[in-house]
Amino acid sequence: MSLFDWFADRRKGQFVGKVSQETDESDGLWDKCPECGQVVYRKDLIANASVCSNCGHHNRIDSTERIRLIADEDSFQAIDKELSPTDPLGFKDRRAYADRLRESQAITGLKDGVITGTCRVDRIPMAMAVMDFRFMGGSMGSVVGEKITRLIERATAKEMPLLIVCASGGARMQEGMLSLMQMAKISGALERHREAELLYMPLLTHPTTGGVTASFAMLGDLILAEPKALIGFAGRRVIEQTLREKLPENFQTAEYLQEHGFVDTIVPRTKLKATLSNLLRLHGSVPVKS
């Protein structure tokens, strides 16, 4: 490629990006698929669970939208809504941890990176936790761990099946060891849930990595995943440098993990609620009267 061609491609890419941005910001009515480039009416995209009707790309959605897609209308009852993180270490890197928390809370309207509660799925009671990647990359700090643990304990006491929707970059290292302790705490609560012979299903969405993958994301009776979700512990580059070999292109995707036995089934978002309903019934859950 000549220098002229390189600059031409650069200018072309910048021009396309500018048009896309203007399309998105001009009236807020249209979205462009980042995978195939198809422009779609935003209301149609939302009606299709934010999945591209052309290529099936699953756009990232927030916790509120996720709850809307899974739970029966007006059935979700949030618990522990007021739990809020502190800054036990007075941690500061390029910015103070306390400032990062305030910014994430202002942007998302959440106290921390997970919403927990009970709901119904086709009239079947279920406990559910939904992580939100918008809040500091869905990182797992002490509040996330505490809320999930309390939810599991409630599900065990009330003999309810449990779903945890995972979306995380891993443990929140601004809280040091306190964040790592959540892995063991949640895993212990899940073991008591298992001993009670109750169903637990994690749903792995894009991305699910780090300490979340190393703990509750991989402890399910049935491990579900969304198509093409990034799932892993360490990053590709770290693994390649450690093993000193090139990894497959689809490494750490949901499809690769299913092929190698780490994921039980891949469920498109548009079919998730129906799939959950069938699995809950298969494992003995009974719908309640409206």
**Tokens 């002490």 sit at which residue?**
142
Per-residue pLDDT tens over the stretch 119-159: 999 999 999 999 999 999 999 999 999 999 999 999 999 99
Distance, first Cα to last Cα, the chain: 66
The confidence score (pLDDT) of residue 19 equals 31
> What tokens appear for 266 in the block?
């891949």
Q: What is the CATH number of the domain that holds 100?
A: 3.90.226.10
CA within 13 Å, CB half, 200: 26
Residue 207 backbone phi and psi in degrees, to 5: -100, 160
3-class secondary-structure state, position 145? helix
The confidence score (pLDDT) of residue 11 equals 41
Instruction: Report yes or no on whether pTM surpasses 0.85.
Output: yes
Identify whether 170 is part of a domain.
yes
Interstrand relation of 30-32 and 39-41 (parallel, antiparallel or unpaired): antiparallel
The confidence score (pLDDT) of residue 27 equals 58
**Tokens 């499809």 sit at which residue?**
255
Identify whether 267 is part of a domain.
yes
Identify whether 35 is part of a domain.
no
> What tokens appear for 134 in the block?
């918008």
Residue 103 CB contacts under 8 Å (≥ 6 apart), including other chains:
none
Identify whether 110 is part of a domain.
yes
185-219: buried (b, 16+ CB within 10 Å) or exposed (e) per residue?
bbbebbeebeeeebbbbbbbbbbbbbbbbbbbbbb
Identify whether 41 is part of a domain.
no
Distance of alpha carbon 82 from alpha carbon 46, whole angstroms: 29
3-class secondary-structure state, position 68? helix
Distance of alpha carbon 205 from alpha carbon 224, whole angstroms: 9
What are the residue ranges in the chain where pLDDT is below 70? 1-27, 290
Work out the number of other CB atoms within 10 angstroms of the CB of residue 31: 21
Per-residue pLDDT tens over the stretch 224-264: 999 999 999 998 999 999 999 999 989 999 999 999 999 99
Identify whether 128 is part of a domain.
yes
Identify whether 16 is part of a domain.
no
> What tokens appear for 140 in the block?
């797992």
User: What are the beta bridge partners of residue 92?
Assistant: 96
Helix (H) or strand (E) holding 114: strand 114-121
Peptide bond into 227 cis (omega under 30): no
Nearest CA-CA partner of 103 in 77, 80, 135, 131: 135
The confidence score (pLDDT) of residue 289 equals 84
The confidence score (pLDDT) of residue 186 equals 98
The range of the structural domain enclosing residue 137 comes to 61-282
Amino acid identity of residue 165, one-letter, is V
Domain count, the chain: 1
